[in-house]
Amino acid sequence: MNKKRLQTGVAYHSNRILTHVVTDMKEIARSGMDIVVHMYTHNDMERHSKVMADIIKATESEGLEVWVDNWGIGGAPGDKCHFLAYHPEAHSYYGDGIMHPYQICLNSPAYRDFVKEWIEKVAAMGGKTVFWDEPLIPSVLVPGTDDYYSCCTCPTCRKKFENRFGKKMPVVMDADVSKFRNDVIVEFHNFITEYASSMGLKNVICFMPYQLGGMTKQTEKEKLLNFDLDSICAMPYVDNVGTDPYWYGKDVNPYEYNYNATKLCLERAEKFGKDHNIWIQGYNAPLGREEEIIEATEGAYDAGARTILSWSFHGGESNDYRSDRPERSWLCTKEAFRRIKDMERDRILEENRRRYRK
């Protein structure tokens, strides 16, 4: 019997006007949701820390749990990195010498100090859970080939690589570069989750579906991009692992795609005794396809997910990636979560009847 209580939730961002936040939190609570994931960007650190403390209080006052997202503080999953304006030396580089426009190097000492400061501010403003969103070291193809450029190839990484492998880092990725990238991202997340835990925070992490393995066939060269997710999931300071099987823009069945990704994620979570989180795409829904949000949610639920969240509030209306009809997407999101809450109540009722009725 699945003893975990079903929780639903939503990502909320782009609004820092407390009056409107309070109204929105009340709507989320009335919709029966349990969790709100608030972004805390570098700009928020400099301009909105007091406001964010008030937002966390306003959210919790509605009985909602708060997760704080590291959105864009080091580049991906965001599309800008405010930090690099202060520390341009922390840019990540590809093997051809081209600088990534907004991705930091995870080996940057200045960035690691910054992340510690970010964690400290999350704790100071009342945060209790950190959501580490889509860990990534971006890679690009060598034009006209199926090879990938090495990355990161900044001076710090080149020196570390040479000291470890006894050779210069190649322009094109090989098995040694793949191993180096893997160890960098594993070591970095061990560092940040341990520090967050030392500040009394829980750590939730979300991987992209392709990183789980088993979602698509990979060539040998594509496999070089993989990370050892087991090493991250096994970390003592990681409490919760998840994935975000967003399907709009892919030629997939939303139910099947979310079902399969959820199964893979839950297998890994259960293997390491971790909680889980599964994300449903509530943004960028094309006109007339909003009902797929309900199908995808039911796929995740049927696969066993019991913490299911939507990205993002009101169909992503505050962003350029908003749905064609944000209000319709939001209505479908609320309906999807209402349906699985009803399913869960019926499941528990049936179990109780079988167990206790004479």
- Strand residue runs (E) in the chain: 7-12, 35-39, 65-69, 91-93, 99-104, 129-133, 202-207, 240-243, 275-281, 307-311
**Alpha-carbon distances, residue 261 vs 104, 217, 291, 298 (angstroms):** 28, 14, 20, 13
Residues of the chain with pLDDT under 50: 1
Residue type, 87: H
Domains located in the chain, CATH noted: 1-69+239-358 (3.20.20)
With pLDDT > 90 as the criterion, what percentage of the chain qualifies? Answer: 94
- Dihedral sign for Cα 127, 14, 30, 287, please: negative
230: which 2 tokens?
């087991």
Task: Read off φ and ψ for residue 160, nearest 5 degrees.
Answer: -60, -40
Asked if residue 203 lies in contact with residue 167, where contact means CB atoms within 8 angstroms, the answer is no
> Which single residue is written with the structure tokens 């003893």?
3
Torsion (CA) 158, 180, 42, 200 in degrees, nearest 10: -130
pLDDT of residue 345: 96
Asked if residue 21 lies in contact with residue 48, where contact means CB atoms within 8 angstroms, the answer is no
pLDDT per residue as tens digits for the range 194-248? 999 999 999 999 999 999 988 888 899 999 999 899 999 999 999 999 999 999 9
pLDDT of residue 358: 66
pLDDT per residue as tens digits for the range 5-52? 999 999 999 899 999 999 999 999 999 999 999 999 999 999 999 999
pLDDT of residue 64: 98
273: which 2 tokens?
């005794």
Torsion (CA) 119, 191, 197, 12 in degrees, nearest 10: 50
This prediction has a pTM of: 0.96
Asked if residue 20 lies in contact with residue 57, where contact means CB atoms within 8 angstroms, the answer is no
pLDDT of residue 1: 42
168: which 2 tokens?
């210069």
Cα distance between residue 206 and residue 297, in whole Å: 17
